[in-house]
Amino acid sequence: MTHHKEPMTGSPLIEIKDLSAGYDGRTVLHDVNLCVYERDFLGIIGPNGGGKTTLVKCLLGLLKPTGGSIVCHPRRSGGEGKLTMGYLPQYSTIDRKFPITVEEVVLSGLSGQKPLLSRFTPTQREKAAQVMARMGLEGLGKRAIGTLSGGQLQRALLGRAVVSDPEVVILDEPSTYIDKRFEARLYQLLAELNKERAIILVSHDIGTVLQQVKSIACVNETLDYHPDTGITEEWLERNFNCPIELLGHGTLPHRVLGEHKH
Ligand code: ADP
């Protein structure tokens, strides 16, 4: 198992400063400071209810922060325009009864690139076909998502997240998808995708995260940036209340929260 040990450097793609967010007047996140770099592979960990999804919603622009700022610096467009992001949602949020095919799911990742109600172009369909092949979904394009295995559905949704070639891909709890057989392939795919883009992987399961990431942020109401501090077994046990095998992992640059209360 190899880890990238150098802390991420250079100017960030995303800069989060003093962010706070919440619902109905209740603060869920506060004083969050974090940078995401080009080709970063950032694991966001923390207990259930700690605010990971809330942070992701803020990043995606789905939830307006109550304070602070998120500044994006897209590279590909020369610093102009929006930073492109792809998103793999949590499994629990997917309605598998929704009558939509695998191809339609993947193509929907391109709907931001066409006028509403117009058809997808042959080039876009070709792109979707390439992505389906890359995800190992050949021949399944016309299948309704309700007939897929958990792993196949996850790959279709991952295809949707990456089909537009976004600069950042955010994956929310990818380890909760059922198909364990696909896990190794998923991580291989992520490593490939990471060569061209930043990946943010959200999980309450630190075991999943540790094998993959270049840096770690822990979210439990707040989060701080601690450059290049090793994660120790003791730290993990203290913060996750569960013993974790870290033998041979050494240290890992990470970004850790301040107060933990669990
Ligand atoms: P995590 O993703 O780490 O499990 P969340 O960001 O989903 O945590 O939740 C953080 C807190 O915000 C929890 O206390 C949760 O109950 C609350 N929360 C999340 N979504 C909403 C919502 N839509 N309305 C009200 N409260 C919410």
pTM metric for this prediction: 0.82
Beta bridge partners of 16: 34, 70
Locate the ligand 1 atom nearest the alpha carbon of residue 219 and give its number.
3
**What domain range includes position 74?**
11-84+166-250
Q: What pLDDT was estimated at residue 79?
A: 63
Q: Are residues 194 and 80 in the same domain?
A: yes
H-helix segments, 61-121 = 102-108
Q: Are residues 16 and 66 in the same domain?
A: yes
Distance 178 CA to ligand 1 centre (A): 23
Q: What is the pLDDT of residues 54-80, one digit of tens each?
A: 999 999 999 999 999 999 998 876 667
pLDDT confidence tier of residue 122, bands split at 50, 70 and 90: very high
Distance 220 CA to ligand 1 centre (A): 11
pLDDT confidence tier of residue 231, bands split at 50, 70 and 90: low
Residue 214 has pLDDT above 50, yes or no: yes
Q: Are residues 232 and 179 in the same domain?
A: yes
Whether residue 197 is contained in a domain is answered as yes
Residue 222 has pLDDT above 70, yes or no: yes
Please state the rounded mean pLDDT for residues 206-229.
66
Q: Are residues 65 and 187 in the same domain?
A: yes
Whether residue 171 is contained in a domain is answered as yes
Beta bridge partners of 211: none
Is the Cα torsion angle 211, 212, 216, 218 positive or negative in sign?
negative
CA-closest residue to ligand 1 atom 7: 53
Lowest mean pLDDT segment, chosen from 49-53, 55-59, 172-176, 208-212: 208-212
For residue 257 and ligand 1, the question of a CB distance below 6 A is answered with no
Q: Are residues 142 and 183 in the same domain?
A: no
Q: Are residues 173 and 234 in the same domain?
A: yes
Q: Are residues 79 and 192 in the same domain?
A: yes
For residue 28 and ligand 1, the question of a CB distance below 6 A is answered with yes
Domain count, the chain: 2
Among 120, 144, 164, give the residue marking a domain's end: 164
Whether residue 181 is contained in a domain is answered as yes
Whether residue 6 is contained in a domain is answered as no
Whether residue 91 is contained in a domain is answered as no
Whether residue 261 is contained in a domain is answered as no
Contact criterion met (CB below 8 Å) for 158 and 105: no
Among 108, 143, 164, give the residue marking a domain's end: 164
Q: What is the pLDDT of residues 9-65, one digit of tens each?
A: 667 899 999 999 999 999 999 989 888 988 888 888 887 888 999 999 999 999 999
Output the average pLDDT for the chain.
79
CATH number for 219 = 3.40.50.300
Residue 2 has pLDDT above 50, yes or no: no
CA-closest residue to ligand 1 atom 23: 23
Q: What pLDDT was estimated at residue 123?
A: 94
Q: Are residues 76 and 104 in the same domain?
A: no
Q: Are residues 184 and 133 in the same domain?
A: no
Q: Which of 135-149, 167-181, 183-197, 239-253 has the highest mean pLDDT?
A: 135-149
Distance 49 CA to ligand 1 centre (A): 6
Task: Give the Cα separation of 184 and 221 in Å (integer).
Answer: 31
Whether residue 121 is contained in a domain is answered as yes
How far from the centroid of its chain's Cα atoms is residue 172's Cα?
Answer: 5
Q: Are residues 153 and 228 in the same domain?
A: no
Task: Give the Cα separation of 209 and 215 in Å (integer).
Answer: 10
Contact criterion met (CB below 8 Å) for 144 and 99: yes
Residue 115 has pLDDT above 80, yes or no: no
Q: Are residues 159 and 170 in the same domain?
A: no
CA-closest residue to ligand 1 atom 24: 23
Q: Are residues 222 and 120 in the same domain?
A: no
For residue 52 and ligand 1, the question of a CB distance below 6 A is answered with yes
Distance 92 CA to ligand 1 centre (A): 14
For residue 51 and ligand 1, the question of a CB distance below 6 A is answered with yes
Mutational pocket test of ligand 1: of 44, 53, 59, the residue with most ligand atoms within 8 Å of the beta carbon? 53
Residue 168 has pLDDT above 50, yes or no: yes
Q: What pLDDT was estimated at residue 128?
A: 96
CA-closest residue to ligand 1 atom 21: 23
Among 131, 164, 197, give the residue marking a domain's end: 164
Whether residue 218 is contained in a domain is answered as yes
